[in-house]
A and B are shown apart, each in its own frame.
Chain A
Amino acid sequence: KNEVEQSPQNLTAQEGEFITINCSYSVGISALHWLQQHPGGGIVSLFMLSSGKKKHGRLIATINIQEKHSSLHITASHPRDSAVYICAVIRAVGYGGSQGNLIFGKGTKLSVKP
């Protein structure tokens, strides 16, 4: 089982819809990143969070440390939001493996139709 699971794998939405992408993880973490990757490969860091909620424009990220779960929400989605969204966690001390390594989910491919 992957240590970081994202759902859904693929998502198609109509412009204007509210979108939610979920990320669950099985290790203790010190932080979680949400990343956006456009075709061509460039990656942009959207959020880094270790508790609570962060908002930037139409994007909102939440994390529940007790439930080991994070969500990325996009309000009023637009075709330019079409990209792969990747959740990545930083493994905390005492959870085996190498502390400090980023562990990535497989990504959610979002396509927003006009």
Chain B
Amino acid sequence: KAGVTQTPRYLIKTRGQQVTLSCSPISGHRSVSWYQQTPGQGLQFLFEYFSETQRNKGNFPGRFSGRQFSNSRSEMNVSTLELGDSALYLCASSSQGQGHTEAFFGQGTRLTVV
């Protein structure tokens, strides 16, 4: 079974730009969750999608958005990038959602905003 695939692995963007990150879950998994990891704040939950619907949302500004497609692949978008958005963005997939079944994490996308 292929694992969770995140693309791209590394990204450099300029302040003010927008960025889209992609996450392909394990086949058959309907839940995709997104997390931000920074040295100062550690891991923080962004949002969870289940069967194309946002099921949970963390405490992030509206510049952070996401969506999930019918094949369960998910994208995360950050608009008007700020220097503080530089982080490792991780996604995780599970069959029934975080807290219900085991989560499998991708390798992450390391975003640098300059």
Contacts and interface: CB of A to CB of B under 8 A. Distances in A.
Interface string B90-114: 1010000111111111011010000
A31 B99 CA distance: 6
Contacts of A40: 107
Q: Which of A40, A41, A90 has the most CB of B within 10 A?
A: A41
A102 interface: yes
Q: How large is the interface on B (under 10, 10 to 19, 20 to 34, 35 or more residues)?
A: 20 to 34
27 contacts: A40-B107, A41-B90, A41-B107, A41-B108, A41-B110, A42-B105, A43-B90, A43-B92, A43-B105, A45-B104, A48-B103, A86-B43, A98-B56, A98-B58, A100-B48, A101-B45, A102-B33, A102-B35, A102-B98, A102-B99, A103-B45, A104-B42, A104-B43, A104-B44, A105-B42, A107-B42, A107-B43
- Mostly, the A contact residues are strand
